[in-house]
Structure formats: structure tokens, C-alpha cells
């Protein structure tokens, strides 16, 4: 259970009544110094200590808020997904370099398309890691399943690959599944 301590005696006296109001009901948020503290911090086992001036906890702190719309974790999931899809297209274009060492394809590293694919994949990794700080893995991973639709569509659009009827139906099923997961994630976020 988290243990909270308040630094100043005045802050402790003003905040103690707010904490006391939430102690009797586990899961109810406390209101401390003009900020709402999540139910994790307003659990039934709280104590105050006047030896310090800030709220501290022994458990893992709440994740920091993300600044601006671009750093919204769901936007970063979309960025990661788009970068991953584009990296696959770039790598495919770079793989067509004729090489004498066709076994390993080392000559493909001479193609700028290959390097663009590598750069997109690395950038995608950083977006993915950022998003995972805020979104549960089971939600994030399932939302990125849209890649199973984006990569074939990008292959059709940019590489002139064909998409048959069965594959088209499969893509439609994947998109509908991702929409169901996205709706569930949206509803869960609204409850928070």
C-alpha cells in the first residue's frame, strides 16, 4: 500500500482533512493542494508525516501528463503504426537491388530505400516506447493490428501488388476488429 507524507505542517493540516474524507472509502480520489490525487494514492492506508514538504510515495508514481496533442499516446501509436507500415514498403523497395550475395542481401544496404526503411523502423520504435508508458500493452498491441490492413494496402497502392477477394475480406475483418478494440479503449479512457 502506498504511504504518503506531507512536508509542511500547514500543508499537512490543510490536506489532512481532505485525505481523511477519502480514507473511509477506498478508491475515492482525494483532493490535495488544489489537485485531485488518483485513487491509488487515496487508498485506505495513508499516513501523514510533517518532516517533509512534498507528497511522496513508496509505490510507483503516476505517469506524467503528456504535453500537447502530438504527444498523446494514441497519436504516438498511430505514428508508430504508420512508420512501421512505411518502413515495410521502403524495405521492400530497397530489397530489389541486384546483388551477388543474394543469400544475405547485404547489397540492399546500398539502397537509400533500405536506409529509409531502417530509419522509419527506429523512429517507430521510439513512438511505440513512448505510447507504452501510458497505454496498456494489450490495448496498444491490438490497436497496431491495423498494420495487417495497412501493409497490404500500401503494397497495392505503392508497389502495385494485387489484393484478392479473400485477402480483401480478411483486411475488412481486421479493420472491424481494430474498430471494436478502439471503441473499448475509448470507453475505458472516458471512465478515467
State yes or no: pLDDT of 158 exceeds 60. yes
Q: Tell me if the pTM is above 0.75.
A: no
Residue-level pLDDT at 53: 46
pLDDT digits (tens, 9 = 90+) for 4-32: 444 444 444 444 444 444 444 444 444 44
* Pairwise CA distance, residues 120 & 112, whole Å: 12
Share of the chain above pLDDT 90, in %: 40
* Mean residue pLDDT across the chain: 74
pLDDT digits (tens, 9 = 90+) for 33-56: 444 443 433 333 344 444 444 454
* Pairwise CA distance, residues 165 & 37, whole Å: 52
pLDDT digits (tens, 9 = 90+) for 116-146: 999 999 999 999 999 999 988 888 998 899 9
Give the list of residues 6+ apart from residue 2 with CB closer than 8 angstroms, or none. Answer: 40, 41, 43, 45, 46, 57, 58, 59
Which band of pLDDT confidence, cut at 50, 70 and 90, is reported for residue 111?
A: confident
State yes or no: pLDDT of 94 exceeds 60. yes
Amino acid at each position: 500500500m502506498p504511504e504518503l507524507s506531507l512536508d509542511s505542517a500547514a500543508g499537512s493540516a490543510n490536506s489532512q482533512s481532505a485525505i481523511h474524507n477519502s480514507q473511509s472509502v477506498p478508491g475515492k480520489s482525494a483532493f490535495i493542494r488544489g489537485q485531485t490525487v488518483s485513487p491509488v494514492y487515496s487508498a485506505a492506508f495513508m499516513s501523514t508525516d510533517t518532516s517533509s514538504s512534498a507528497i511522496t510515495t513508496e509505490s510507483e508514481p503516476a505517469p506524467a501528463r503528456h504535453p500537447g496533442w502530438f504527444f498523446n499516446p494514441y497519436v504516438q501509436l498511430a505514428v508508430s503504426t504508420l512508420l512501421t507500415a512505411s518502413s515495410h514498403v521502403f524495405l521492400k523497395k530497397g530489397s530489389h537491388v541486384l546483388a551477388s550475395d543474394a543469400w544475405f542481401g547485404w547489397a540492399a544496404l546500398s539502397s537509400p530505400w533500405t536506409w529509409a526503411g531502417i530509419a522509419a523502423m527506429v523512429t517507430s520504435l521510439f513512438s511505440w516506447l513512448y505510447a507504452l508508458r501510458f497505454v496498456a500493452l494489450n490495448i496498444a498491441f491490438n490497436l497496431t493490428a491495423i498494420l495487417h490492413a495497412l501493409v497490404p494496402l500500401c503494397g497495392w497502392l505503392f508497389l502495385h501488388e494485387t489484393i484478392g477477394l479473400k485477402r480483401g475480406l480478411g483486411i475488412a475483418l481486421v479493420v472491424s476488429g481494430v474498430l471494436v478494440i478502439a471503441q473499448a479503449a475509448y470507453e475505458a479512457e472516458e471512465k478515467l
